[in-house]
Structure 1
Amino acid sequence: MLIGLVLGIVMAASHDHALSPVHVHTNLLGWATLALTGLLYTVIPAMADNRFARLHFWLHALGLPVMMAALAAYALGHTAMEPVIAVGAIAVTAGLAFFTVNLFRTL
């Protein structure tokens, strides 16, 4: 959350919004999504200690920084980073798919 907020302030102060996609994805995937999934892990403790939870955590924790770094590079003109964005996005999506399966299996 703090990284997303600081990035937003830096963009506003500099009037350079090239990294807006990074700001948005950092706040949505790095703050809102993790806050909601963490809340569900807390409210439904049976979800928290199984392989689906571990897969969700590791895929999200590893995929998101890769995706954000590549997205920042892409937004700054390094178009060759597009496949790296895809790798990070697929990891995060797979992690959230494991979370979803875990939720429905537990409920």
Structure 2
Amino acid sequence: MGIKLIKISVVYFAIGVLLGMYMSMAHDYALKGVHVHINLLGWASFALSGIIYHIFPRTGRHGLAKWHFWTGNIGLPVMMIGLAALILTGAGQLAIAVSIGATLVVISVILFAINILMNLQTAPTKG
């Protein structure tokens, strides 16, 4: 699961950088919240989670890791597309997409935390 998270984080990184470049070139920063969330949650958080899962394979093999991956990678795009559409159109009914996506992302983070707290153990000391 670690390698999958690292690979998907690179996709989010590219999207975040491209969005940042667009905003800079257009001098339009309306989507800065989308840019920040894609970089923080998509790039940084998923990359760090992937590294942790890779370094500590027991955590990456647990079923919670799969749920963490899928809830996060369904929730983040739903939240970001909903937020971008809400900002660009002002259509208040799009707030439901932001709420649903954000809830999935929060669940994803909670699953990651539970997984790490339950399954991350220190290596036995050699004596």
Q: What TM bracket, shorter-length normalisation?
A: over 0.9
Counterpart of 2:83 in structure 1: which amino acid? Answer: L
Alignment correspondent of 1:93: 106
> Any stretches of 5+ residues in structure 1 without a counterpart?
none
Q: Number of paired residues?
A: 107
> Among residues 14, 17, 21, which one is paired with 1:2 in the alignment?
14
**Counterpart residue number, 2:93:** 80
How many angstroms apart in 2 are the aligned matches of 1:78 and 1:70? 10
- Between the aligned residues of both structures, percent identity stands at 42
Q: CA RMSD in A?
A: 0.8
1:44 aligned residue (31, 50, 56): 56
In the TM superposition, residue 106 of structure 1 has moved relative to its aligned partner by 1.0
Using the size of structure 2 for normalisation, the TM-score is 0.82
How high is the TM-score relative to the length of structure 1?
0.96
Match 2:43 to one of 13, 31, 35: 31
Which blocks of at least 5 consecutive residues in structure 2 are unaligned? 1-12, 121-127
SS at match of 1:17: coil
